[in-house]
Structure 1
């Protein structure tokens, strides 16, 4: 199972499951991911520590030095 925000694998027996009003579920590996998504309304691709940001940078041509 992967985190719905950062994209990292969630070890069995850990994490949180959030169920939206529509019935769709979102899995989180930590409070950090949950707060960044709902409370702070941040996009995963704009945070350096998420997998989405790392793949987005690779598609744009890599890290600039």
Structure 2
């Protein structure tokens, strides 16, 4: 007879991967830093480099070559 999988079994067996809110790389479960904003939105960062660039320096990840969100030529904003 087969045993049913419970929510606890599924949660412990499946690895959880999240994406970094700044650079876009995947973060394995159990690592990274979680930032919770006042509106309840949760932002995950993979390293202190990403969190400092995001919150302290307030850089645009589309302009940095080491991020996966990089756009060649920088971020182009449409003019109205």
Q: Same fold (TM over 0.5)?
A: yes
The 5 A counterparts of 1:1-65 are: 1-53=18-70, 56-57=71-72
Cα deviation for residue 11 of structure 1 reads: 1.3
- Whichever of the two has the greater Rg, that structure is 2
Bigger proportion of residues as helix: 1
SS in 1 for 2:30: coil
Structure 1 match to 2:3: none
Structure 1's unaligned 5+ residue stretches are: 58-65
Higher strand share: 2
How many residues are aligned here?
56
Tell me how large the CA RMSD over aligned residues is: 1.3
Unaligned stretches of 5+ in structure 2? 1-17, 73-80
Which structure exhibits the higher relative contact order, with contacts defined as CA atoms closer than 8 Å and separated by 6 or more residues?
A: 1
Structure 1 outlier segments of 4+, above 4 Å? none
